[in-house]
Structure 1
Amino acid sequence: MKFTQYHFSLGLVAGALFFTACGKSDESATADSGAAEASAELVIPDAPDEAMQLIFSELAKGNGGIVWQAMPASYQSDVNTIVQLAGTKIDAEMYDTTIALLGRIGQVADKQQAFIVNSQFTKSSPEQKAKLEQALPSMLQLFEVVTTSDLATSAGLQSFDGQKFFDTTVSDLAKLSIELSKLEDSEQLTLEDLGQAEFSTVELSDLAATLKVAAGGQEQTEMLTKVEDRWVPADLAADWSTNMAQGIAQLEAISPEQMTASKPQMMTVIAMLDGVLTQIESAKTQEAFDESLQGAMMPLMGMMMMGQGMGGAAPAMPAPAMPTAP
């Protein structure tokens, strides 16, 4: 067992570079403000076992802000820097249009849930279809959370605030992760399991710790490294500086000429996909839905090829295959 949920939450920052969209409603903003205040009141313990206990118990309550608070200050600075840099390197019109398209994909999928469940592309048994039908609303909510985060535009990327992102988007994703895990038959540990885990220190030095983690009837040892005044998974700490340096170098290598050269083709593909989405949305029969879905595959492949041609600068599009049952 690894600190999967902890690593996943940190990895959401990288995902923010590619899956972002429109702002939140006033009602959501009020709820997010409350989450931020709750996170700010917590103090990360100095003891590694107590620190991990707090992080996972709070994540299991849907408090994603605790992950940001648990990061070393230099990590927080790195994350803000790389996301803000991305905002200066992408083409604003192309980025904003692509994200709007991603949001529309989720809206159309929500409207056509019945056709998705029964599509020939799912190739599912009746039991799998029943599970997909049960899980699909939460899956689409997760998609909506990601595509309605605070990073709606290139301007939003440039003003990225990691604390706010974790207080809002990561908190929402943590809550949905818990809901989705209740629908699965998997024996893998869930966020709720980790929230109830028992952490105990086996070995401890000034900069390293070995913990025993007992959760869901399983036991595992985990290595932690102290970075500044925070305990982080040892493998994460070992690769952090290299990964950040590589990410910044890749972004710095993106030239305006690259973006300008790729933009006409990318915008054409986006327009094609928008037209196909209109057909999918207006489909009244299963046959019409599947035919329209088939028509989306070519422009999707074209968009992915365009993204590769720009060195991965464009938002990654979802694969054309339909979601399968959990």
Structure 2
Amino acid sequence: MKKLSTFLTLLFLVGTLPLLSGCGKSKEQPGQSSAKPLGPAESMTVMIDGVSNQKMEAVWEFLPASYQTDINGLVKEFATKMDPEMYNGTFQTAQRLTKLLKDKKAYILKNQTIKGLPVPPDKVDQFWDPTISLLNTIVQSDISNLDKLKDFDGGKFLSTTGNQLAKSVISISDLIPTKENEPSFSEKMKQTKVTVVSTEGDTATIKIEAPGEEPKEETMVKVEGKWIPKNLADNWKSKMEEAHQKLAELTPEKVTAQKEQTLAGLKKMNEVLAQLENAKTEEEFNQTLTPIVAPVAMFAPMLMMQMGQSMMGAPQGGPMTLGGPQSLGESNAADPETVVTIVIDKKLSNAEQDPIIDELIKVVDGANILPNVVGETTVIRVSPVKNVEEFAKKIKFGKTTKVDPKTRSINVELAK
């Protein structure tokens, strides 16, 4: 599936990369054939107008016929090599997850761990629906079924799913704040101008000018009667050869070897999704959700601080301070299969955490402990722990209210 996404991404990038440098507005309607062959600037502007108006078939029409054949062939070849149970099962789980994210939005956004992320809650809420819509478009499309993938047609895909994806992407881009009086991404596309600088035979130079952006010149070449960026033409053959080579390496033996692990992971994920789907109350829902998202939430401040240190030129790898997570014990990355997440529905100070950490050090040999406060919840990751249920019996600093071996999490209510 990874290789498939590469080619679909390539399709989208062919249409959108020029937009990043500036786009054009054409008098012709995207998707309509011209009475005469399009010139280098016209080709670019018609394609850009297609993306701007969510008519992504214009991207497909922008490509030479042999390029279209190459893409269709690669996707179909991938489909013949993939295992149906593994491929379809992955998309079915993704469909289930996307539905949960949509249906349980209110519960998720109220989760204290989510609210404790270094992103304003109103921003999460603002981007939530268009992002879920984009994900839903992908997981419900024809590429979600291996039989349909074997009959893949890039033009059809872009004229249906591609149009929906473009709509979601533009909706998300328009939510991104801009400088005062600066047009949104979609408005920039509509206001951009493409002109010809020079032409010599089957080579031309065009200038792309977008509001608020530096003008950019792009070399175009004529391939099979279509004007496309020279960089795309120069690299197409080698990229296709590389893609075919990677597909050749996707042998039945490799697929079979991956299948058992993938299906086991999907089974585990579906069990967790079932718990979340069947939760009758917000409290019950978040008791299952918090241990899952807590590890991500714990590392978010650390990653942001490391990014800040990197930008300021400060050394990295030292102990975290300023209230960030502090790892007690070995600094080596812990094996996820030996990590247990303890969730305490109370915000604990460092002084209140100390006796708990002391107790955990006594019951876990070579303990690696990572405490963190997320919102009004304290989350403590402990490793190495082999048996979650046996470990839970050793907890004396509070009452164990829930033990989930699947998510390797333990909910604890502190003694009063």
Q: TM-score range by the shorter chain?
A: 0.7 to 0.9
Q: Which amino acid aligns with 1:190?
A: F
Asked if the contact 2:31–2:55 (Cα under 8 Å) also holds between the matched residues in 1, the reply is no
Secondary structure of 2:204's match? Answer: strand
Q: Which moved more, 1:64-73 or 1:208-217?
A: 208-217
1:196 deviation in Å? Answer: 2.6
1:270 matched to 2:261? The reply is no
2:84 alignment partner AA: A
Deviation at 1:290, TM superposition (A): 6.2
Matches within 5 A, 1:271-310: 271-283=267-279, 284-285=281-282, 288-289=285-286, 291-292=288-289, 294-295=291-292
Deviations 1:203-230 (A, max 9, x none): 2222322211111232222222222211
Instruction: Return 5+ residue gaps in structure 1 as ranges.
Output: 1-6, 15-37, 303-326
Question: C-alpha distance in 2, partners of 1:51/1:164?
Answer: 20
The structure, 1 or 2, with the larger RCO (C-alpha pairs under 8 Å, 6+ apart) is 1
Partner of 1:234: 230
* SS of match in other structure, 2:250: coil
Query: How far apart are the structure 1 equivalents of 2:218 and 2:290?
Result: 45
* Contact map agreement 2:97 2:273 (CA 8 A) in 1: yes
SS in 2 for 1:151: helix
**1:215 paired residue among 204, 207, 210:** 210
* 1:82 partner amino acid: L
AA aligned opposite 1:197: T
Equivalent of 1:134 in 86, 107, 126? 126
Q: Over aligned residues, Cα RMSD in angstroms?
A: 2.9
Structure having the higher helix fraction is 1
Does residue 1:57 correspond to 2:53, yes or no?
A: no
Percent identity reads 28
2:192 matches 1:197: yes
The whole-number CA distance in structure 1 between the counterparts of 2:250 and 2:9 is 27
Equivalent residue number for residue 301 of structure 2: none
The range that moved more, 191-200 or 49-58, is 191-200
The one-letter code of the counterpart of 2:286 is: F
Spell out, residue by residue over 1:253-304, the C-alpha distance to the aligned partner (whole angstroms, 9 max, x if none): 2111222222222211110000111223344336842643534899xx89xx
Amino acid in the other structure paired with 1:113: K
Task: List runs of 5+ in structure 2 lacking aligned partners.
Answer: 1-6, 15-28, 296-335, 338-416
- Work out which of the residue numbers 32, 37, 52 in structure 2 matches 1:41: 32
Quote how far apart the aligned CAs of 1:53 are.
1.3
Partner Cα separation in structure 2 for residue 138 and residue 146 of structure 1: 13
Q: Which amino acid aligns with 2:33?
A: L
Q: Distance in 2 between matches of 1:252 and 1:71?
A: 25
Aligned length: 270
Distance in 1 (alpha carbons) for counterparts of 2:153 and 2:8: 19
